[in-house]
Amino acid sequence: MCQEHPQDWDRYLPALLFSYREEPHESLGYSHFEVMYGRTVRGTITILKELWSGNVPENEIKTTYQYVIDLQERLTSTCEMARKELTKASMKYKRHLDVRTKEKRFECGDRVLLLLPTSTNKLIMNWRGSYDVVRRVIRNDYKLMVDGHEKMYHANLLKRYIERTSDDGTNVNSYMGTR
């Protein structure tokens, strides 16, 4: 829009947002509108098609109470289906991530460094730690003891921590591997 209409691109935002919200989302399997309102949107194309073909749905006369009950049921079932679709999409994305992951093995009790965002900028990551590995959950997920709580992290965010001593006997902290 910015390239096609550089002077008045902002006038097209409502139409763009409408078309974005009525299109099914890949992860959900439903449009944002369906998840929010529990029904499909009747856009301008749908209304024109109904008018031209003469297939205008008859208006149902419902009480307010019945409408609320029906809406609640539709929203509940839509949210449940969306939750299932998100779970499937999450597993799909995890499989893709795991394929590209180099196998890192940590044992219970190993010390690791954890790659986390800095407190000043969430886009800048620093190695923090060391933390104890509590257990391996599945292939590339590990539970660590962080600030007294068990938290799960992917192996890509972990790096083996080795404490070593220098020639004069003082501790020198380091880590193994590169990121």
The yes-or-no verdict on residue 16 having pLDDT over 80 is no
Instruction: Give per-residue pLDDT as tens, 48-89.
Output: 677 677 776 655 556 777 777 777 787 788 778 888 888 888
Is 168 within 8 Å of 149 (Cβ atoms)?
no
With CA atoms as reference, report the closest residue to 24 among 81, 67, 71.
81
Q: What are the tokens at 179? A: 């990121």
> What local confidence, expressed as pLDDT, does residue 178 receive?
44
Q: Give this prediction's pTM.
A: 0.41
Report the mean per-residue pLDDT for the chain: 78
Q: What are the tokens at 145? A: 């003891």
Rg of the Cα atoms in the chain: 26
Instruction: Give per-residue pLDDT as tens, 115-140.
Output: 988 888 888 888 987 898 998 888 78
> What local confidence, expressed as pLDDT, does residue 173 receive?
58
> What local confidence, expressed as pLDDT, does residue 143 receive?
92
